Amino acid sequence: MSRTAEKKQAREEGSELNERLVGINRVAKVVKGGRRFGFAALMVVGDGKGRVGFGHGKAREVPDAVRKANEQARRELIKVPLREGRTLHHDVEGRYGAGHVHLRSAPPGTGIIAGGPLRAIFEALGVQDVVAKCIGSNNPYNMVRATFAALESMESPRNVASRRGLKVSEIVSGRDNRSETKNKEKASEEK
């Protein structure tokens, strides 16, 4: 597929994106005649199927700031591998500035246990079951960037298996085999 065809396909898919406004901030610039007010908007955009992006826009009026943030978010979408299309493959941590987030996969029926900007990200991403905890800064910009740092570092078992030259079943069952071996070792030590 040519590059122009990929861009066209991305634009067509872009019409189906969920948009979430995370925050609007009023800022002031002090000038000789007084203050000039402007607005900064933070938006999260996702397709509900594993693609998500965030954008930041500034303008004199709120709608212009929101439009700019939306356009930037659509340009910077990332693909996140999801397990069964509903949760994360493994627990992961992300950090940006003083913002630190812990993301944990969860069993079916748990729901999205996260607050503020993280909830908006997971709803736009299409995650149904996740537990998230923010530590440190609760600045929405730092929380969003820390969450995206964590999501970008996430890997699916298929990617890990292809990188190591193994089968997916060997990667997934290897985890079970290690825990069984540890349990057997503990049982033999107790005797």
Shared domain for 175 and 99, answered yes or no, is yes
Q: How far apart are CA 46 and CA 66, in angstroms?
A: 15
Q: Which domain holds residue 112?
A: 92-179
- Is residue 12 in some structural domain? yes
Residues 102, 61 share a domain: no
DSSP-derived secondary structure for 119-186: HHHHHHHT--SEEEEEEE---HHHHHHHHHHHHHT---HHHHHHHHT--HHHHHHHHHHHHHHHHHHH
Q: Name the band, by pLDDT with cuts 50, 70 and 90, for residue 87.
A: confident
43 contact partners, CB below 8 Å, separation of at least 6? 19, 20, 21, 22, 54, 55, 56, 57, 66, 69, 70, 73
List, for residues 62-75, the tens digit of each pLDDT value: 999 999 999 999 99
**Model pLDDT for residues 2-50, shown as the tens digit of each residue:** 666 655 565 555 468 889 899 999 999 999 999 999 999 999 999 888 8
pTM of the predicted model, to two decimals?
Answer: 0.78
Q: What's the CATH number where 105 sits?
A: 3.30.230.10
- Which three-class secondary structure state does DSSP give residue 114? coil
Number of domains in the chain: 2
Whether residue 87 lies inside any domain: the answer is no
Determine, yes or no, domain membership for 189.
no
Asked if residue 118 lies in contact with residue 143, where contact means CB atoms within 8 angstroms, the answer is: yes
For residues 70 and 106, membership in a common domain is answered with no
* Cβ-proximal residues to 65 (8 Å cutoff; 6+ apart), any chain: 24, 38, 39, 40, 41, 57, 58, 59
- CB of 123 closer than 8 Å to CB of 147: no
Residue 13 lies in a domain: yes
Whether residue 171 is contained in a domain is answered as yes
- Sign, CA dihedral 144-147-153-156, equals negative
